[in-house]
Amino acid sequence: MPEVLLDTTVLVDLARGHEPAMTWFRQHPKKSEMAVSVFSWFELLAGCRNRREELRLDRMLGHFLAIPAVEKDCQLALRWYRRSHVSDGVSALDCLIGTAAVRLGIPLPPANTRHFRKLPGPVARRPC
């Protein structure tokens, strides 16, 4: 069972070697229990410019447990999106990522807590 679901922005910061993110990551005792939503994987793949970058991304994300979407996640994400996308600028993918954390009952440390503050469940606190 994963203990934390990593947000896409945190993963980008880690990939770029952003020092606050790297420090947070090094201090987390159970890296093997960190997870990544398949939707974060999609977001990160969309930013790859070539096959070499895709392979590098796959190597990085391969160290984490991949969390698939389930129907309940999608239903909750749609309700959350309807409630928050205009007022808070929350993206559909943020909704899908956040609902996986709610389902699993694990924290989601996003870089932008504003996108997740209205989601019930795990505490969204900025890790770095």
Taking the chain (128 residues) in runs of 10, the rounded mean pLDDT of each run is: 90 91 84 91 95 94 93 92 85 90 84 65 54
Tell me what pLDDT residue 121 has.
Answer: 59
Distances (CA, A) of 13 to 18, 77, 104, 120: 5, 25, 24, 25
What are the sequence ranges of the domains in the chain?
Answer: 4-115
State residue 68's pLDDT score.
95
- Measured CA distances, 126 to 31, 89, 97, 116 (Å): 18, 18, 16, 11
What is the DSSP track for 106-122? -----S-GGGTTTSSSS
Fold type of domain 4-115: Rossmann fold (3.40.50)
Torsions phi, psi for 59 (to 5 deg): -65, -45
Q: How far apart are CA 30 and CA 26, in angstroms?
A: 10
Query: What's the start-to-end Cα distance of the chain, in Å?
Result: 23
Q: Note the pLDDT of residue 24.
A: 86
